[in-house]
Amino acid sequence: MLLISCSPAVRYSSITEKTIPKEAKLSDFRKAIINEVKNYIGTPYKKEGMDCSYFTMVVFKNAIGLNLPRTTSEQFKLGRLITNPDSLEIGDLLFFNTTGEIASHVGIYIGDGFFAHASVSEGVTISSINDPYYRKRFNGAKRIIESK
């Protein structure tokens, strides 16, 4: 049985001043996450490589040295659950039900209602959490690193 765990994304293909909060306002952790996300924008999706969970794993590893599990379902087991999209912070992992599983797609919240993720059709891209497709499928977020 073949399951694709990361759904197509549309809308945004690059990070701009508008989609990223001013770095001066960010903690070192958040700056590192944002800077690492920028390195991957446009990277093609690969089922055996750059899929959604690999993207989140490599960003956290390269940005702050944190080893996340390889799969979306394992990443969903980490951190503190955030159910209100209005309470999201930069670096939170966002989880979506795109295949019938509670956590079949994952991305990284980057602020101002946007998240970065690896899309089957777009590769690593930026999407709005307010997009009807994602809003309907949002199953919560996990805060892996608590604010100080």
Catalytic residues: 52, 105, 117
Strands (E), the chain: 80-82, 93-96, 105-111, 114-119, 123-128, 138-143
- The residue type of 75 is Q
State the Cα–Cα distance between residues 40 and 48, nearest whole angstrom. Answer: 16
DSSP annotation of 29: H
